Amino acid sequence: MAATIKAGIVGGAGYAGGELLRLLFLHPHVELAFVQSRSQAGKLVSSSHPDLLGETELTFSAGADAPVDVLFLCAGHGEAAKFLAENKVLAATKIIDLSQDFRWNEGTNTATVEVDGRSFVYGLPELQRERIKGAQHIANPGCFATGIQLALLPLAQQNILTSEVHVSGITGSTGAGQSLSATSHFSWRTENVSTYKVMEHQHLREIKRSLLSLQPDNQPDIHFIPYRGPFARGIFITAYLKSELSLEEAQALYSDYYKDHPFTIVTEQNPDLKQVVNTNKCVLHLQKHGEMLVITSIIDNLLKGAAGQAVQNMNLVFGLDESTGLKLKAAAF
Amino acid sequence: MAATIKAGIVGGAGYAGGELLRLLFLHPHVELAFVQSRSQAGKLVSSSHPDLLGETELTFSAGADAPVDVLFLCAGHGEAAKFLAENKVLAATKIIDLSQDFRWNEGTNTATVEVDGRSFVYGLPELQRERIKGAQHIANPGCFATGIQLALLPLAQQNILTSEVHVSGITGSTGAGQSLSATSHFSWRTENVSTYKVMEHQHLREIKRSLLSLQPDNQPDIHFIPYRGPFARGIFITAYLKSELSLEEAQALYSDYYKDHPFTIVTEQNPDLKQVVNTNKCVLHLQKHGEMLVITSIIDNLLKGAAGQAVQNMNLVFGLDESTGLKLKAAAF
Amino acid sequence: MAATIKAGIVGGAGYAGGELLRLLFLHPHVELAFVQSRSQAGKLVSSSHPDLLGETELTFSAGADAPVDVLFLCAGHGEAAKFLAENKVLAATKIIDLSQDFRWNEGTNTATVEVDGRSFVYGLPELQRERIKGAQHIANPGCFATGIQLALLPLAQQNILTSEVHVSGITGSTGAGQSLSATSHFSWRTENVSTYKVMEHQHLREIKRSLLSLQPDNQPDIHFIPYRGPFARGIFITAYLKSELSLEEAQALYSDYYKDHPFTIVTEQNPDLKQVVNTNKCVLHLQKHGEMLVITSIIDNLLKGAAGQAVQNMNLVFGLDESTGLKLKAAAF
Amino acid sequence: MAATIKAGIVGGAGYAGGELLRLLFLHPHVELAFVQSRSQAGKLVSSSHPDLLGETELTFSAGADAPVDVLFLCAGHGEAAKFLAENKVLAATKIIDLSQDFRWNEGTNTATVEVDGRSFVYGLPELQRERIKGAQHIANPGCFATGIQLALLPLAQQNILTSEVHVSGITGSTGAGQSLSATSHFSWRTENVSTYKVMEHQHLREIKRSLLSLQPDNQPDIHFIPYRGPFARGIFITAYLKSELSLEEAQALYSDYYKDHPFTIVTEQNPDLKQVVNTNKCVLHLQKHGEMLVITSIIDNLLKGAAGQAVQNMNLVFGLDESTGLKLKAAAF
């Protein structure tokens, strides 16, 4: 049996922090040393995450300086970099950051980012599992970025992702975090649909960088329409592009690419989002219409798109089986 | 044809104000003089209420002092009284207030409230239509208060509302207004249920006062469990009490009581909330189980429970047919 | 004032039939002669459409042979053609069919379909209002077909719809009608997303035919991903294509094209679906990103996408103002 | 470590069967011998329950006669009794039935039902855990029955449940199973509310029998208004009655009663349904208003109200820790 991993969380009162807590409480090899929250310091963790009632008497801490084996940063975009600038973290502590602060920088086409003497490996196991295993610091991918990359990696690895890619994707409300805004109000969002950041979603940067790391000589345009949908959890993505592969060839390529990746599953059934809600899975489905190859990719934005993938990365970094603590009962309904 | 009524709205950027605007734009005898909003002054009305795009180029005004025949106050609880204290309103102007500021005060059992020399008639047409017709100032009832009273008035009028009344009711999110809060966040509210103000909802005061005005010698306890439901519009109420009436007698009593009231309908079909959504109707349904008489009452909280009833009251005050401008296409789905 | 139009409905128990009933009851110049339904003959109309309780005592008829000025066919795909084959309709009676039976046939590129000696004019007023005014028989467009065409017509009319068009669109559950199926079950559909008929939606045929009627020498490919969303009413469409127009030129082109069409509105605000729910409007919004022109188009599938457009066509055919009976209060929430 | 339990499921294609499958696949001491389904025999289990894709290649069997240690009957009301009448089950096989067929019969006030020589112990661990441990056959309680009993047991055990009890409760759509009906159609149910079986819900029988087993001399009336709500999972119950207990006394009584029951939790926070969704928990909350003691009780109808409680009972019957395989990540959103 593996030794116990001591873990700390920075920013534990938000959505990603809450999911991480739920997972780590169930993880057989993790002991939680602290859960920090600026806004909730001193309060019960179960007051912010009432589903944890009966499972923990832990309170949020103000500080995050107890020594731990792994530190998860759920502090939010910009806040993660700030935290590391202002706080000392022991050199031996592994860091897994869920913000976008260390996912990408200008002028590199390998999926590793250097910041202030730290080297952050981009934590998409299906792209670079071996590099993650040896990493000291992990930049956990964005939710849309995860779903879209998993739809495209097998093509890029074969250097055949060469024509324009057209992507539409719909995200649930938890993707925007728990801050209150006009578009997060129930009265507005229920039974409603809208788009945002049309053609300009920030995740396109990390997606393009990853694809470039696989096929440095080809960089097709990616056009992306992100939708907000009237549901809480999950991302449903459709991508299509001109491809010379037959359906059977494409299915064989994708099945082969993902055959050793436990969470990414290629299916011939037409998928629906709730298949993956409350799991760490990505389900992929392929269709061919004329010369267009159409790829559907669905994930739970808070799990495979955030906290679940963070735990998957932790498992890899600490030499555990990749699925440890991540065999989750789907909500299904 | 009736002359045109010049109307002004104070607090037009909120939910009730928006509904009132939608209704008044369609009303054949109303001309909107101004729509005031402190927070949105100078902006297009359609920027706050985008469904009105293409129907009006009106902007919100900062002031509310243009002379009008009727002034609707949608300013919010506490703000209505403050507005009238701080602003001069012409003596000839009728006032219809949608807040709770003038619905009730201590120590009266007639449904009229005197404040600062103004006399506010409680605007529930099914309780006191004649008094409304002659009123100068109207206090528009609360949403739960409307639904619960319509369930009980026929019994009180016969002085047979004499045993304890047990009420449960579920309200949509628009009942709490458009302010942002943890319980109005989509991620929280979708697929969720909770209770609030159990046994202590403030609408019980105006309900009890109205019932007392009909049967001064009987004042049964009313126990009320208000639920928050995962939907935007509507209130579904179930009330029951011990009654000696047979089902047929009860149906006859209710049908007779409401026969001249165009919006309150007694049905033998088991009702569902969406029957009344986006209409000014109240649908009532009666059942008898043992000695218990069970009454279902459903309304749209923003229409019969707020803006629709305000227009109904305006119609009565100005001598129009009660239904003018209120024959609305139900949303149905 | 216009004379009264006597109207009959075939297939009045379904979703489109119900919406049509709601509209016709409120229409100032229509008298309903009968509402036929095979499955509900003899029952109260309000038993199928309980929101109509209190508004009508009408029962569904078995037959549809009373003489009327206009006959609406809401019988369903395939059933409309069958009805006309099996029943005699007076030559003077105008027919407005809501099915797809007469919208399209092989080998024509004018938007009129000849069947069994009847000539059906394709009823999209924004495409060919003048031809509709003189029509005896109308084929009412499909819901997705309406939303997509309104997004593209101004470009086609200028003969500049010349590059591939990429469309994604999300429809509510009422689009699939009221028949029960696995994907219409609440437990399945709530908080869920899926796709269907990817790249092969049948509405593409009528869309392409209309575009071809405007620009016979250009027929770009249209790629269409239809989504099922967890909401009841509405369609939200995003279309994009390479275009040499600047944003300002595109806005000017669209505003000019639709300036005399009362229901199609071009806005600079980022739209959301509920703006148009329970109205007959189409709201269009334009963006330019690099060389891509992105067009958002939203409609209520049951109104502008079905029954509302049918009434709009009736108004045109009978010489009424196009908006008569169609100024509807939006549900808004 | 416990030996492996061989389990079979009859009726595995429905909602309860699916949940049971999800739980048993994750249970460390269970091996699934077969999953029978009449309608789906021969098909992949993952075709009915697509969230299980990637976790099992199992197909539904037509028969249910392989020898097993425990047989779960998810066949539906009436079908369970029929199955046992028509099929031979080994005497050594434990049976856990999720239907209502063996929960209750006339004329007994102990919570055990004798049918055809089999003795079914009512499987509510918080009522009679010791009796369950020694049982051969278990009748798993109904969902509303579970939630309401957990709200009332501590009072009955003290013989102080002596005044009328008023209960309202709201259930999600999965409570009605996966059969298609007008009230399970998404277009109808979304944003809608209705009641059913008012004052006459069949679960009242098993509730009253359990309470009588604790306080044979007192049998107060229970009035119950069941609501259908627009959500998929969960039951939210409010019960109130006159009680002489102070709030502190009531909290002490409930906390003490449930202190050794791992899934039933008494909280001082105002609860919301999603706290328990996708868990086996029941959360209870107490309030005192005047002389009324108000108890809130929330469960996931498919887990603590069905499949979760069935596994809890299996654990008890086979001498495992009661929580084995039931520490589930809440869906939370």
Convert the pLDDT of each residue in C25-38 to its tens digit: 999 999 999 999 99
Average confidence (pLDDT) over A106-128:
87
- Residue B195 sits at φ, ψ, to 5 deg, of -115, 165
Local confidence band at A1 (pLDDT 50, 70, 90 cut-offs): very low
Q: Taking CB atoms and an 8 Å cutoff, what residues of chain A touch C195?
A: 238, 270, 296
Which one from C70, C84, C143, C306 is the annotated catalytic residue?
Answer: C143
Provide CATH 3.30.360.10 ranges for chain C: 143-301
Contact C187 A296 (CB under 8 A): no
Partner chains of B (3+ C-beta pairs under 8 Å): A, C, D
CB pairs under 8 A between A and C: 125
- B143 among known catalytic residues: yes
Q: How far apart are CA C298 and CA C308, in angstroms?
A: 14
Q: Taking CB atoms and an 8 Å cutoff, what residues of chain C touch B265?
A: 53-54
Per-residue pLDDT of chain C (333 residues; tens, 9 = 90+): 458 999 999 999 999 999 999 999 999 999 999 999 999 999 999 999 999 999 999 999 999 999 999 999 999 899 999 999 999 999 999 999 999 999 988 766 677 888 888 999 999 999 999 999 999 999 999 999 999 999 999 999 999 999 999 999 999 999 999 999 999 999 999 999 999 999 999 999 999 999 999 999 999 999 999 999 999 999 999 999 999 999 999 999 999 999 999 999 999 999 999 999 999 999 999 999 999 999 999 999 999 999 999 999 999 999 999 999 999 999 999
Contact C230 A225 (CB under 8 A): no
Q: How close C242 comes to chain A (CA, Å)?
A: 11
CB pairs under 8 A between A and B: 56
Which one from D23, D71, D96, D143 is the annotated catalytic residue?
Answer: D143
- The pLDDT mean for chain B works out to 96
Average confidence (pLDDT) over D271-288:
98
C→A interface, C-beta within 8 Å: 166, 168, 170, 172, 187-188, 190-196, 198-200, 223, 225, 227, 229-234, 236, 238, 240, 270-274, 277, 287, 289-290, 292, 294, 296, 333
Q: How far apart are CA B170 and CA B172, in angstroms?
A: 7
Provide CATH 3.30.360.10 ranges for chain A: 143-299
Query: What is the predicted pLDDT for the residue at B2?
Result: 58
Q: Beta-carbon neighbour count of residue A260 at 10 Å?
A: 10
Contact D272 B188 (CB under 8 A): yes
Largest CA distance in chain B: 60
Contact B229 D193 (CB under 8 A): yes
> Which residue's structure tokens are 């036929």?
C36
Fold adopted by C143-301: Dihydrodipicolinate Reductase; domain 2 (3.30.360)
Closest CA to C285 of C238, C222, C241: C238
Q: How far apart are CA B163 and CA C253, in angstroms?
A: 69
D→A interface, C-beta within 8 Å: 15, 18-19, 22-23, 26, 46-47, 49-54, 172, 174, 190-191, 232-233, 262, 265, 267, 269, 271-272, 274-279, 281, 283, 302, 327-333
Q: How close B5 comes to chain C (CA, Å)?
A: 20
Query: What is the predicted pLDDT for the residue at D2?
Result: 58
Q: How far apart are CA B75 and CA B10, in angstroms?
A: 6
Do D217 and D159 meet the contact criterion of CB atoms below 8 Å apart? yes
D241 φψ region: left (φ > 0), alpha (ψ -120 to 50), beta (else): beta
Contact C186 D178 (CB under 8 A): no
Average confidence (pLDDT) over A259-284:
98
Q: Taking CB atoms and an 8 Å cutoff, what residues of chain D touch A283?
A: 53-54
The pLDDT tens digits for B276-295 are: 999 999 999 999 999 999 99
Do D54 and A281 meet the contact criterion of CB atoms below 8 Å apart? yes
B→A interface, C-beta within 8 Å: 15, 172-174, 178, 180-181, 184-191, 230-232
Provide CATH 3.40.50.720 ranges for chain A: 5-140+306-317
Nearest to D270 among B194, B236, B277 (CB): B194
Locate the DSSP E strands across A105-233.
112-115, 118-122, 137-139, 165-171, 194-195, 222-228
Local confidence band at B1 (pLDDT 50, 70, 90 cut-offs): very low
Coil/strand/helix, residue B267: strand
The pLDDT tens digits for D19-65 are: 999 999 999 999 999 999 999 999 999 999 999 999 999 999 999 99
Query: What is the predicted pLDDT for the residue at B106?
Result: 76
Q: How close D329 comes to chain B (CA, Å)?
A: 17
Q: Taking CB atoms and an 8 Å cutoff, what residues of chain A touch B188?
A: 186
Query: What is the predicted pLDDT for the residue at D111?
Result: 77
Q: How close C167 comes to chain D (CA, Å)?
A: 25
Q: Taking CB atoms and an 8 Å cutoff, what residues of chain A touch C167?
A: none
Nearest to B191 among D198, D227, D232 (CB): D232
Instruction: Out of 3.30.360.10, 3.30.930.10, 3.40.50.450, 3.30.70.120, select the CATH number for domain B143-299.
Output: 3.30.360.10
ipTM of the complex, rounded to two decimals: 0.96
Tokens standing for residue C119: 């000539």
Q: How close D178 comes to chain C (CA, Å)?
A: 8
Which one from B35, B75, B135, B143 is the annotated catalytic residue?
Answer: B143
Partner chains of C (3+ C-beta pairs under 8 Å): A, B, D
Contact B279 C51 (CB under 8 A): yes
Tokens standing for residue A188: 């507005």
DSSP string of C71-117? EEE-S-TTHHHHHHHHS---TT-EEEE-SSTTS--TT--SSEEEETT
End-to-end CA distance of chain C: 35
Per CATH, the homologous superfamily of domain C5-141+304-317 is NAD(P)-binding Rossmann-like Domain (3.40.50.720)
Query: What is the predicted pLDDT for the residue at A99?
Result: 96
Dihedral angle over CA of B121, B122, B127, B131, nearest 10: 10
Q: Where are the alpha helices (DSSP H) in chain B?
A: 15-26, 45-48, 79-86, 125-133, 143-157, 186-189, 203-214, 247-258, 307-317
Contact B330 C22 (CB under 8 A): yes
Nearest to D190 among C178, C181, C186 (CB): C186
Interface residue of C187, C190, C194, C300 to substitute, partner D, most D CBs within 10 Å: C187
Nearest to A194 among C193, C200, C270 (CB): C270
Which one from A143, A152, A204, A311 is the annotated catalytic residue?
Answer: A143
What percent of chain A clears pLDDT 70, i.e. is strictly above it?
98
Q: Where are the alpha helices (DSSP H) in D112-232?
A: 125-133, 143-157, 186-189, 203-214
Statement: the pTM of the whole predicted model exceeds 0.80 = yes
The CATH number given to B5-140+306-317 is 3.40.50.720
Q: How close C57 comes to chain B (CA, Å)?
A: 13
Q: Taking CB atoms and an 8 Å cutoff, what residues of chain C touch D184?
A: 180, 185-187
Contact A232 B185 (CB under 8 A): no
- Quick one: closest CA in D to B171, which residue? D193
Coil/strand/helix, residue D308: helix
Residue B78: C-alpha distances to residues B84, B131, B209, C89 (Å): 10, 25, 20, 63
Strand B194-195 versus strand B165-171 pairing type: unpaired
Residues contacting residue A261 through CB under 8 Å, at least 6 positions apart: A125, A126, A129
Contact A51 D279 (CB under 8 A): yes
Do B170 and B235 meet the contact criterion of CB atoms below 8 Å apart? yes
Interface residue of A187, A188, A273 to substitute, partner B, most B CBs within 10 Å: A187
